A and B are shown apart, each in its own frame.
Chain A
Amino acid sequence: MRKLAIPAGVGIVLASYFFGSEVLGNKLPQPASAQAHEAYSPLALPTGDSPEAQLTEVFARIEQNRLDLALQQAETLTERYPNFRLGQLVKGDLLLARAQPISTFGNAVNAPQDKLADLRAEALARLNAYRSKPAANMLPSYLLQMLPEQKYAVVVDAQRSRLYLYENATGAPKLVNDFYITQGKLGVEKMREGDKKTPIGVYQVVGNLPREKIGDFYGSGAWPLNYPNDLDRRLGRNGHGIWLHGTPSNTYSRPPRASDGCVVLANPDLDALSSHLQIGLTPVIIAQNVEWVSQDEWQQERKAMLSAFEGWRLDWESRDGDRYASHYSHNFSADGSDYNAWTTQKRAVNAAKSWISVSADKVTMFGYPGKDDMVVVTFRQDYKSNNLNNTMMKRQYWKKEDGRWKIVYEGAA
């Protein structure tokens, strides 16, 4: 069972509603607040009338012990979104509370415990995300360099069951919107076909399947991602058909962990997101826990990466074998060659030239979520030399080794 943390700002009434009254003892679980997130004050009522905002208001009223207002709000919510199962459950509790004392979340007779647990997890995920938004000056560390034509980027935080939509604004990426999402039944780090996990990595929207073509189960549309990407393939990961998609018509949303690996949004949320997605352009970065950095840290990181990349380009142009090789990790591999084979061959080629000019444009740099400090750099390389000219799309994976960025993989993109 996934550990459920009490969202920041949740008081004792709500806590005991979700978890039963044993938390009323002297040991109230500590709120899962991260510094990168600003919690609203406990009783702050949400603004806006999204179903999530309305649900949050219901919870805020419960916290205030204004069960009458909570019920009113729950009734408004379920009238507008009758398929919002979580809303219906909370409404059921509030109605039943008028007839008899209730002890905790979901008092239905014979309620299937697995479904209750799913709804509780959804409630906490929504409440947590809604009540603690990323602080204004914090952003995901991943969006280091985007193309001007990449208008938006998508960042998914699996732990928070949340998808963040960022605008590629001047200065730094800007948060536009964020949505509750469903991930794979068995969580993240997809390895194999059928493992019911969501992949972690840097992907891209590569298509769009309209509602009519895919059937009700996928809701208002689907946006396939390029899983497995070249790194996944190199690491032997397989499977396919990882999509961002909507929700069947019989439910407003699905539990936090329910898909076969896809990232699932409520249909209205998917519709809101869809207008920002560009096939072949929009990055979709899926992380287990998004790493949040301040704008200053982000600038530093970005500068360091740009300068490492520029160093590599200049050192290649210098035709100095040692300087060029210094940018490659000893763990380097390209298709069919390791560090020694690669550097030996490159030394020979570079030494034989009288001049080399390398320029790069269309550069994107995305931090790669996961255990390692890794950045994937994709660019158009324009190579010219005394006897060969070549233009190609190239991809490099850079990894920080002893404080220095080194290339661990390089190949055509």
Chain B
Amino acid sequence: MANWIPLWLHRLSSPPTFYRFAGTLQPWVTTLALLLGAIALYGGLVLAPADYQQGDAYRIIFIHVPSAWMSMFIYAVMGVASFIALVWRIKLAEVVAMESAPIGAAFTFITLVTGSLWGKPMWGTWWTWDARLTSELVLLFLFLGVIGLYRAFEDRRQGARAAAFLAIIGIINVPIVHFSVNWWNTLHQGSTVNVFGHSKMSWDMLWPLLTMTLATKFYYAASLFRRARTDLLALEGGKDWVRQIAQGEDAR
């Protein structure tokens, strides 16, 4: 199996190499995230015109939709990393999977709260049990479950494998919940949700949205690098390269 893996990828999965690699990239992705985020916010809050139907309330979209996309994206990354961790037992995959969970939970939480704040003036209610909202809430509980299970074990690697297993089981659940609640609502003739159609969005609203999407991706990378580097230090605590770093320079 090792033949088709390029050498640089194989080297990258070694903890000290990844530590240095992530450390080098971290300031760049952080800067990109902040820069793109600032541009997106300026474009969305100041430049973009008010929506003729929703007025200025629609501006929540610039943080709500990217956060929602991130919650899905991070769960997918966590799932893939979990699969790699379980099958090939690569330490770095375990770290990536486990440290993605809190970031994913954060974005899911933001999605739910900003969505609720947007829903109140627009739909007249803070919450409704339609497919999209319910499956997003289930996603939050899945993230929290992964975090909780990981921390319940004394042996961190074993905990990571157990939580990775849970993450993979959970992946299947999200589309199931989404479609089953959709079907359930139809059965009960629940209220339908009006989605802000992206294809109908004008460019001066679209570009801040896309820019913010990119910004949040860079933010995820930056946060993941930061967390993963600390986690690798903790995992490899007895090794020489950690000793050098701990006794060497301070921050970074």
The answer to whether A and B come from one shared complex is: no
Residues on B facing A (Cβ under 8 Å):
none
Residues on A facing B (Cβ under 8 Å):
none
